[in-house]
Amino acid sequence: MGCLLLNSHYNTQANRNINFLTQILTVADPAAVTYPERCDEGADLQTLDSTIPKLRIDSDRLRADFEALRHIGLTHDGGVNRLALSAEDLAARAWFADRIEEAGLRVCDDDAGNLGAVLPSPDPGAKTLLIGSHLDSVPNGGHYDGTIGVLAALECLRTIHDAGLVLPIHLEAINFTDDEGCWMSMMGSRALIGALNAEAFNDVPEDDGQIRAALRLAGIDLDTVEQAARDPEAVLGFLELHVEQSSRLERANVPIGVVTGIVGRRTYQLTFTGSAGHSGTTDMYKRRDALRGAAMFIVRAHDVVREAYGDGIFNCGDIDVEPGSFNIIPSSACIDVEIRHYKPELLAEMETALFKIARECAAVCALEVESKRMLSRPAATMAAGMIQAIESACVTLGLDHLPLVSYAGHTAQMLSLFTHSGMIFVPSVGGIGHHPDEFTHWDDVVNGANVLLQTVLDLAYGGVPGTLT
């Protein structure tokens, strides 16, 4: 698989704009350069400073895309089912590829099924700025999660293309495979950053060959999935527009969130083991009740995280009790535990503190306790240069903005391990996410898309502030 040049539009434009590009790449003071507003023959020349801030995405065209895509996987209660690699997901990809072709852009897919639109620079050695998110959904999820990030990214390319601007960078609007983890969490982004190989698919629990069947159906060959890895030297950075999925922006009545970091997440199974016995005849003070130890741990863990780790998250989402009867003392209680924090050192500290509490609770109840780590995803810090560029775009557009930590995982989390990454949030009404009622006012989607566009243009002509020389 690879990039497919669907038209030769840029080859002809390249000749016309080569002088313009030479100026950009060699003149020390970009403000002194005269930029073409359009690339059509005979077009008036204007300065970039007057053209770029006026450029806006086409809200109606973006809305038409959103409405069309809404019907692919629409559920009876208004949600969306586009599980990664399902028939609906594949239909959404085909629809996306059609839109790319229709816009006269390059379709580019890779060996992990990531699918993108490319607006190439005439300079073949230029770096690529990746923008995008995901079109897959959780079961019966919402229509905004991921989708607006991909559609707005495509709309940015179309807007720049239609304006005839030729960028000194390659620009790619990308849909990442299985961001939601139907088969393997962040499969596409992991592959792109070179952190996925065929062996990783051997470790997926409870898989009876379905993953491989689904991958085959989508044309993904595990033997070549490693080839989706990109060269970090060839990438300028990554930007993702996404709905906030919590209510901080709505509460503050601010239209744009500038993400500063994304929480790290660790999950565990903690198993408390005691002794089963007759619930009626065993002395209350002599029993080794595994559930009592687990319950004590859950309450204390909640208290400690709330009191000592204000920005930290603790959750116990499931309990499996054995033997599981009204009249038998539980001999085993296995709990599913999750912790999140955006500061790596505090995430590690929380883990140590919670394990200590687990041992103390086990000791009080005369139990043994064992832990098994199920997942560890590092906290991510967004690049200072990207934060600065997004904030600057908000100022240009006259939009208030708020720095925010993301408590949900996102593509940008994975990409931040690989390149300068930034994230733009738009408000979610009621803070609802992963639910059919997920909703973002259209004006907010448009604002987010315009911030994405403005940030792209600033980065294209100015580089990532503070990170490029």
Residues of this chain that bind Zn ion (CB under 5 A): 145-146
Distance in Å, CB of 66 to Zn ion, minimum: 15
Distance in Å, CB of 141 to Zn ion, minimum: 9
Distance in Å, CB of 455 to Zn ion, minimum: 19
By beta-carbon proximity to Zn ion, the closer residue of 36 and 149 is 149
Distance in Å, CB of 80 to Zn ion, minimum: 12
The C-alpha angle with vertex 27 and arms to 26 and 28, in degrees rounded to 5, equals 110
Distance in Å, CB of 298 to Zn ion, minimum: 29
By beta-carbon proximity to Zn ion, the closer residue of 181 and 466 is 181
Contact 417, 195 (CB under 8 A): yes
By beta-carbon proximity to Zn ion, the closer residue of 110 and 180 is 180
The C-alpha angle with vertex 60 and arms to 55 and 62, in degrees rounded to 5, equals 80
Distance in Å, CB of 139 to Zn ion, minimum: 14
Which residue has 């989706």 as its token pair? 228
Contact 368, 362 (CB under 8 A): yes
By beta-carbon proximity to Zn ion, the closer residue of 146 and 463 is 146
Closest CB to Zn ion belongs to which residue? 146
Amino acid letter for position 448: G
By beta-carbon proximity to Zn ion, the closer residue of 137 and 271 is 137
Distance in Å, CB of 245 to Zn ion, minimum: 8
By beta-carbon proximity to Zn ion, the closer residue of 89 and 145 is 145
C-alpha distances in angstroms, 355 versus 46, 273, 275, 315, 425? 63, 15, 22, 14, 34
Q: How far apart are CA 34 and CA 17, in angstroms?
A: 12
Q: Computed from CA positions of residues 129, 135, 138, 142, in that sequence, does the dihedral angle turn out positive or negative? A: positive
Q: How far apart are CA 356 and CA 362, in angstroms?
A: 10
Which residue has 């566009």 as its token pair? 453
Distance in Å, CB of 389 to Zn ion, minimum: 22
For the chain, how are helix, strand and coil distributed in percent, rounded to 5? 40, 20, 40
By beta-carbon proximity to Zn ion, the closer residue of 80 and 270 is 80
Q: Is residue 467 classed exposed, middle or buried when 0-12, 13-18 and 19+ CB atoms within 10 A define those classes?
A: middle
Tokens coding 435: 């639910």
467 contacts: CB under 8 Å, gap ≥ 6? 383, 384, 385, 420
Q: What is the DSSP letter of 229?
A: P
Distance in Å, CB of 147 to Zn ion, minimum: 9
From 57, 35, 55, 56, select the one nearest 46 (Cα to Cα): 35
By beta-carbon proximity to Zn ion, the closer residue of 73 and 463 is 73
From 219, 214, 192, select the one nearest 204 (Cα to Cα): 214
Distance in Å, CB of 179 to Zn ion, minimum: 6
| Cα dihedral 225, 231, 235, 239 in deg (nearest 10) | 30
By beta-carbon proximity to Zn ion, the closer residue of 314 and 425 is 425
149 contacts: CB under 8 Å, gap ≥ 6? 132, 133, 134, 240, 241, 242, 411
By beta-carbon proximity to Zn ion, the closer residue of 39 and 135 is 135
